[in-house]
Amino acid sequence: MKLAVVGTGYVGLVAGTCFAESGNDVICVDIDESKIAMLKQGKVPIYEPGLEEMVRRNAAEQRLSFTMDLPAAVRSSEVIFIAVGTPQGPSGNANLDFVRATAKGIAQAMDGFKIIVTKSTVPVGTADQIKLWIAEETSHPFAVVSNPEFMKEGAAVEDFMKPDRVVLGGDNDEAIEAVKELYEPFLRTGNPILTMDSRSAEMSKYAANAMLATKISFINEVARLCEGLNANISEVRRAISLDRRIGPHFIFPGVGYGGSCFPKDVRAMIGMGGQDPEMFLLQAVERVNEGQKGLLVEKVKRHFGDNLSGHIFAIWGLAFKPRTDDMRDAPAITVIDALLDAGAQVQAFDPEAMMEARKLFGERIRYAQRNYDALNGASALLILTEWNEFRRPDFQRIKSLLKQPVILDGRNIYDPADLRKLGFDYISIGR
């Protein structure tokens, strides 16, 4: 099948590449000239494990191409996916300017029946609005299908190729069947394709992310209570995770969630509710998360005092999670800003997010070439992202490089008893 994917961010580029991998002819479209130039050279502007290799292979086999020419891509395609950004607006609601511009651009280029699939995360009712935008610009027949993505950054390729489920929303049977056909190669194990109305499909994405964010904020709140009552959140987590109604996923305490989805989608869902119905639970989820981002700095100040002038702090981990370079709403931003405001200096290292950090912090912090380089002369080490390479470090080397043997672990990746035996002041979350 001939496809166009508009938008080459995490969602669009992964979707387009994976569809090409299953044998379709895919044109990826973007208005960013530099991004298209990079992709034509086989370079991927985001870090996602396995993606660059797939892009190069499918481009070489002429199933995957990149262009800024939306009209040509539309005319040569049967199905067009909208995968552009929906950034948070001033009120917390999703900004649909890019979606509207894309829908109108598609409509103006149509030369016959087209299936337009919304892959972007959009508020409930957007599919209906897209129909109106397109109808204003063309008399050609078309169908709109809602197809929210459920990929995790850092595992996006695997999630797309082996989805738990595919959700399709719409009222045109022909269009639904065509999109089903696209996904069938990825569902050989029997995982379902769920069909429903477009509003329910749109809501399913927000509800999924809000539920996961709620689990994170819940375990973080319990962790705070454990600290106050001298209980161990690791043992509590182990006990509750064995309950099949709860399970082990997304109940790891830490410095809060970040990224491009959870913060934006929770706020958007709060905005969709407005005053009737007011989203009391999700408001609390957001408050807990924002407080959690500052928790590690509170612990730093309890140990070193409120005035951190003269102290250097080493930070391992800048991305909001491992296996990505994404720093959008990352807890590291809150932590670093607070340390700098208190007079401290920061030396940071992340395996993939250093370029993103430079865009955010410029010369306000120092950037280490290797993880141990960040420790030189530092008063303490702060762990903010649980990259695998941080899990089994040379603790004696860490101790020799730090001015004081202090580790503040915002992801609970070390055993407190082991670290204390080695002579560290070890401070973690809820333990």
DSSP calls for 331-347: HHHHHHHHHHHTT-EEE
Residue 324, SS3 per DSSP: coil
The helix (run of H) or strand (run of E) holding residue 381 is: strand 380-383
User: What pLDDT, on the 0 to 100 scale, is given for residue 332?
Assistant: 98
Assign a CATH topology to domain 2-194.
Rossmann fold (3.40.50)
Residue 314, SS3 per DSSP: strand
* Residue bearing tokens 């292979």: 57
Bridge partners, residue 299, by sequence = none
The helix (run of H) or strand (run of E) holding residue 407 is: strand 406-409
The helix (run of H) or strand (run of E) holding residue 166 is: strand 166-169
Backbone φ, ψ for residue 95 (5° rounding): -85, 120
Residue 218, SS3 per DSSP: helix
CATH (residue range 205-291):
1.10.1040.10
pLDDT tens by residue, 108-119: 999 999 999 999
Q: Where in the chain is the domain with CATH 3.40.50.720?
A: 2-194, 294-427
Task: Say if residue 394 is exposed, middle or buried (CB neighbours under 10 Å; 0-12, 13-18, 19+).
Answer: exposed
> CB atoms < 10 A from the CB of 85, how many?
18
- Say if CB 201 and CB 146 are below 8 A apart: yes
Q: Where in the chain is the domain with CATH 1.10.1040.10?
A: 205-291
State how far the Cα of 427 lies from the Cα of 424, in Å rounded to an integer.
9
User: What pLDDT, on the 0 to 100 scale, is given for residue 200?
Assistant: 98
User: Where in the sequence numbering do the catalytic residues fall?
Assistant: 261
Report the percent of the chain where pLDDT is more than 70: 100
Residue segments in the chain with a per-residue pLDDT below the cut of 50:
none
> CB atoms < 10 A from the CB of 4, how many?
27
User: What pLDDT, on the 0 to 100 scale, is given for residue 91?
Assistant: 76
Which ranges constitute the DSSP H helices of 305-394? 331-341, 354-361
CATH (residue range 294-427):
3.40.50.720
- Side chain identity, residue 199: R
Residue ranges of E strands in 20-128: 25-29, 64-67, 79-82, 114-118
